[in-house]
Amino acid sequence: MTVAIVGAAECDLGVTGLSVLGLQTQAVTRALADAGLSLRDVDGIATTGVARFSATSLAEHLGLQPAWTDSTFAGGSAFEMFVARAAQAIDAGQCHTVVISFASNQRSARSRSLGGAYEPHTPEAQLEQPYGPLYPASHYAMAAGQYLHKYAATREDLAEVAIAAREWALLNPAAFRHGAGPLTVDDVLNAPMISTPLTAADCCLVTDGGGAVVLTSLERARDLPKPPITVLGYGESTTNSSMSAVDDLTVTGAVASGAAAFARAGLTPADVDVAQVYDSFTITVLLTLEALGFCGPGEAGGVVRDRTLPLNTSGGGLSYCHPGQYGVLLLVEAVRQLRGECGARQVSGAEVALAHGTGGILSTHATVLLGVDR
């Protein structure tokens, strides 16, 4: 691999009252400033959630005519996919400096609905939506139900994921729940039930926010102010659009995406010093840790409880920020941990980081491995 992340930043988070393009501009310009680069250096843009023509709209807003764009819509994992595509485009010489960005004002705009946004022309609108599932919550709830049924796992194991995320958020001043105090098992179990067995505290936040990362060749990265964070490996897997397609909800596409990423990097889960794993729901983390090979099937509850793996060190989607497609912020936190910029929540000596995005209803999975430049 010869590509590195050289800049990373958040836009304003929480409740901003700002527009999507305004937040995007914050994310992009702050990430470029972090990289020691300017807008004039950017010839590649990857983003979603701006408009139907997302990268096109953002490029025009920034006054750019990029040589490469990507607006693959895959939900929260798109940004880990973008890292792979950007690395390939830079390696192939199609472009030299790529900005991957996302921003949402969903909390300020009150644009999120429990039932989700089924498109009337899809099979799911005819055959699944009429039964009233919450989208995506009921799918994750069914996966959680299967998980608890299949293994000797309990709702307390799910709750522990939210509790651990809150512990990190208390160390991160940018976290939405930074000042909320610690979470207890009872807090999670007694929160309003949404779709059994998931309570509101098993579900990620709904906030504004977003971020951006800047990629360029490793050779060029070594001349820039911040230490380069190299792209070591990546992999992805797309498994389902509907709630009925996958045979076993407890086995996700992270099995394939993780295996591909580790093989490409020549690494194993034991080499990972810090992991950022998409926590749309508490169950998502347990399923993903097992799929990626951090432990065996049914064992992820123990990994979380033992706090042996530094996980979702920003506080995650559960306690830090969840702007709807959270994947870009997994990358931002991974980069900051590898640079040693994380202050009270810094993982000592972190040299290899994993970022794993999950989109839709366990639909899309993308894994990225990042490392310090050796």
Partner 1 sequence: MSIPEPDEMTQVYWDATRERRLLLQHCDACGHTQHPPRTLCTYCGETDALSHREAAGTGVVDACTVVMRSPSPDHEAPYVVARVRLPEGVVLISNVETDEPHAIAIGDAVRLAWRPLDDGRALPVFHPDHQEN
Catalytic residues: 278, 320
Q: How far is the CB of 203 from partner 1 (least distance, A)?
A: 11
Closest CA to 156 of 193, 197, 195, 192: 197
Rg, Å, the chain Cα set:
19
Query: What amino acid is encoded at 190 in this protein?
Result: N
Q: Which residue among 81, 194, 287, 311 contacts partner 1 (CB under 8 A)? A: 194
| 138 near partner 1, rule: CB under 8 A | yes
Question: What are φ and ψ of residue 82, in 5° steps?
Answer: -60, -35
Piece of 59-67, 139-147, 161-169, 302-310 that binds partner 1 (CB under 8 A): 139-147
Q: Which residue among 249, 291, 353, 362 contacts partner 1 (CB under 8 A)? A: 249
User: Which positions from 70 through 129 interact with partner 1, judged by CB under 8 A?
Assistant: 113-116, 120-121, 123, 125-129
User: Which positions from 52 through 71 interact with partner 1, judged by CB under 8 A?
Assistant: none
Alpha carbon dihedral 32, 206, 71, 18, in 10-degree steps, equals -50
Give 88 or 244: the residue with its C-beta nearer to partner 1. Answer: 244
Closest CA to 321 of 192, 184, 174, 187: 174
Piece of 77-85, 192-200, 206-214, 264-272 that binds partner 1 (CB under 8 A): 192-200
Interface with partner 1: number of residues (CB under 8 A): 38
| 134 near partner 1, rule: CB under 8 A | yes
| 297 near partner 1, rule: CB under 8 A | no
Q: Which residues bind partner 1 (CB under 8 A)?
A: 113-116, 120-121, 123, 125-135, 138, 141-143, 145-146, 149, 192-198, 242-245, 247, 249
